[in-house]
Structure 1
Amino acid sequence: MILELLLDALLDSVKMLPFLFAAYWLIEYVEHRHSEGIEKALAGGGRFGFVPGAVLGLLPQCGFSAMAANLYASKVVTLGTLLAVFLATSDEAVPLLIANPEHWRSLALILGIKLAVALVAGFCIDFVFKRLIPQSVRGGYTGSSSAVDCHEHEERDGILAAALKHTLHIFLFILLFNIV
């Protein structure tokens, strides 16, 4: 009975592997090839930086929140932009939902809600409650994105190796939970 349980858990987990790998390959591709462009879009958002922050935050990338935090600490983006990024940034849920096509509708709903919440929060912080927040905390506009090196700790693995590493890690996590 235990062997049958383990075999069922393994088979259920293996079925997700192609979708999970495809999702992580796409994420790694975007992260490796377009991270500087994403950084420039976020830094170039100006007074409405929370909009690209919320939209770009929906892309599941390992370092996007850290990038936004670095840009905020360097006074390149506003507190509203930082909050929008943090609220929109997705974790491992997105690749897991992508790996299960029957959950794509739920994924779209979750991402839509995250986007709306991030946009409203960013707007409120940067415009509605702006006067209530001290200037030293508001951030934005005084720094330069060229002074921030968000990629100094970036992995040197290729796209394929990084995608395989993430896929294996999440596969083991899924397998463990399927067994439980």
Structure 2
Amino acid sequence: MYDIILDTLKDGIRLLPFLLITYIIMEYMEHKMSAHTRHVVQASGRFGPLIGSIAGIFPQCGFSAAAASFYAGRVISRGTLIAIFLSTSDEMLPVLISQKAPVNMILSILGMKLVIGMIAGFLVDLVFSSGKKAPEPEMDIHHMCEHDHCHCEEGILKSAVVHTAQIFFFIILISFILNLVIALIGEDSLSQIILNRPVIGAVISGIVGLIPNCAASVIITQLYLDGAMSFGSMMAGLLVGAGVGLIVLYRSNDSVRENLRITGILYGIGVAAGIAIDFLGITL
């Protein structure tokens, strides 16, 4: 147990500087880009899924939450909302960067999320097309951020430190649990249990991705980097994961049936894409 705790702390502390630097850069981007991005998405019209999927890959605080609010007011289409949810990176990007993942891996994951989100968004709009209602007053993105406790309004450095502390805690906790499980079961046995069942892995990962918290994307990304999950299973969870977007959707959109339908579409597309990736043998 002592060795497990020591190894976990060593691994986590080595990541701390990279996490902090990453979040400082990301917070700077958020403060400079968020308002402009909102206006572009709102004005995108029939090209909403294209613009939404591109905007979604940038790790902007609360953007999926703002998109849910826009959809509730029919400012954006259902396909645009799905595109944003599927492409949203949440905490995947800082975890990959802090773990020194290869640049081509990071770009490939972001690119796949973008393409899948865009195609799915256009298909959803084609199948479930409906007229837009008059736009309702938009909710400020900094207000939406409060749901994720990201302290966007309190300055770049403080927000970066808070985010770093949150994710550092999750990484330490997840790494400790993984190290403990590996010590008890054995690394080979653990990998075989998950990696030999790609369909089940994608289904389970998609369920984890539905958790409206940054912990979900941290868990999924960490499992993949530790070799305990296939690439397709990871993609399923990361595609389904929309941060706090689903919480805001259920709060701001009155139709529970419609919200459940959107959740089902999001889950189905994410899991289907993950299974297809594993079936095609795509790896990074």
Deviation at 1:151, TM superposition (A): 2.8
Distance 2:5 2:116 in 1: 40
Q: Which amino acid aligns with 1:34?
A: M
Q: Does 1:59 align with 2:49?
A: no
Question: Residue 143 of structure 1 corresponds to which residue in structure 2?
Answer: 135
State the TM-score, normalized to the length of structure 2: 0.55
Deviation at 1:134, TM superposition (A): 6.0
**Mean alpha-carbon deviation: is it higher for 17-26 or for 79-88?**
17-26
Question: Residue 80 of structure 2 corresponds to which residue in structure 1?
Answer: 81
**RMSD value, Cα:** 1.9
Q: Does 1:157 align with 2:160?
A: no
Distance 2:174 2:53 in 1: 31
Question: Residue 31 of structure 1 corresponds to which residue in structure 2?
Answer: 30
Distance 1:33 1:176 in 2: 32
Query: Following superposition of structure 1 onto structure 2, how do residues 54-133 of structure 1 map, counting pairs within 5 Å?
Result: 54-126=53-125, 128-129=126-127, 133=128
State the TM-score, normalized to the length of structure 1: 0.85
Aligned residues: 170
Unpaired runs of at least 5, structure 2: 146-150, 178-284
Structure with greater contact order relative to length (CA < 8 Å, sep ≥ 6): 1
Q: CA, structure 1 residues 134+124, in 2 after alignment: closer, same or farther (shift >3 Å)?
A: closer
Deviation at 1:31, TM superposition (A): 1.8
Deviation at 1:143, TM superposition (A): 2.0
Q: Secondary structure at the match of 1:149?
A: coil
Taking only the aligned residue pairs, the percentage that are identical comes to: 39
Unpaired runs of at least 5, structure 1: none
Q: Which amino acid aligns with 1:174?
A: I
Deviation at 1:110, TM superposition (A): 1.4
Deviation at 1:171, TM superposition (A): 0.8
